[in-house]
Amino acid sequence: MKDWRRALRADPLPPLLQSGHPALEYFARRDLLDEDLGTPEGLWCHPVVAGLVRRQQPDGSWKYPGGGKAHLRPVEDYSQLETYRCLGVLVEKFGATRRMAAIRQAAAFLFSRQTEAGDFRGIYGNQSSPNYTAGIIELLIKAGYAADRRTRKGMRWLISARQEDGGWAIPMSTVGARWDVKTLGGPTLAGDRSRPFSHLATGVVLRAFAAHPAYRPSSEVRLAGALLASRFFLKDAYPGRDTPEFWTKLTYPFWFTDLLSALDSLSLLGFGRENPQIARALDWFVERQGANGTWSPTMLRSGGDNQAGLWIALAICRVLKRVGGRAAARRAERA
């Protein structure tokens, strides 16, 4: 058994390789077994992909499916929110890139929501949103837009939008503004940079920096990563999704900050077991593996995917392999 799997009670690969889902098998073989499988373009004919492409609007967006929060629709851009969600499925579960026409059209729509300053505005009405800005940028980077000037502008905006302590927070939260139509549709609030960072916002923002190789080594990102790890299992500084249990309510593709999305970013940024908080979080996953090699997570949202738990397992294995591989390399250097 490979080094990163030795600490586990069972081998997680058989359930992934025998799932019957071509994308799960592809990514397990590529990312966990280091097999050279070529590009994932063969996955783009999957029925889920075809269904999403059929639903895409002429302007590149996807319509929000309706339902709650109708009172916020005049000022919240629900098409942008749904486009972000659909782009996440295509990019994260099927490896879609800008080589696909649907991705190019979605990117054009999302970039049309970018302000002159560089952030993506609309999901919070007129209020700026470092978390959704970064979440959108993360997916655009993974889809092949890392070198795009608009992506770089967005990254510069994120750097400029930090709190004084080096993390990020939603500006309207730092001044105690109400989440209602009046505030969301009103003048843009600058926020209070002297207030503490939010781990919810910081965790999402770090996903964009972790996805962009040019930004991973920066000292600003390392500082923010250490701040994020320091808050594992704790209450956020701001109301909303602030209670500690949100750390262990998982989602894939990643949405808000949870323990797995945070570990994914931090492991890409070079953090490992030398950080006690990260070691504690890794052990939390190791201790909860089932006898069949998979995990039974509490899902914040599954998107109706009956194999959601296997996608979580794949993401956990990527983190464990990443961290375990670096640890093995360090041991080899000392030998």
* Cis-peptide, bond into residue 22, ω within 30° of zero: no
pLDDT in tens, 203-254: 999 999 999 999 999 999 999 999 999 999 999 999 988 899 999 999 999 9
pLDDT at 270 over 80: yes
Q: Which of 89, 88, 169, 82 is nearest to 128 (CA)?
A: 169
- Core vs surface per residue 172-186: b (16+ CB within 10 A) or e: bbbeebeeeeebbee
pLDDT in tens, 99-109: 999 999 999 99
Task: Report domain extents, the chain.
Answer: 3-327
Three-state secondary-structure class, residue 235 = coil
> What confidence category does residue 69 fall into, taking pLDDT thresholds of 50, 70 and 90?
low
What residue type is assigned to position 260 of the chain? L
User: What predicted TM-score, i.e. pTM, was given to this entire model?
Assistant: 0.94
| Chain centroid offset of residue 157 CA | 18
Average pLDDT, the chain: 93
Structure tokens at 322: 């990443």
Can you name the CATH fold of 3-327? Glycosyltransferase (1.50.10)
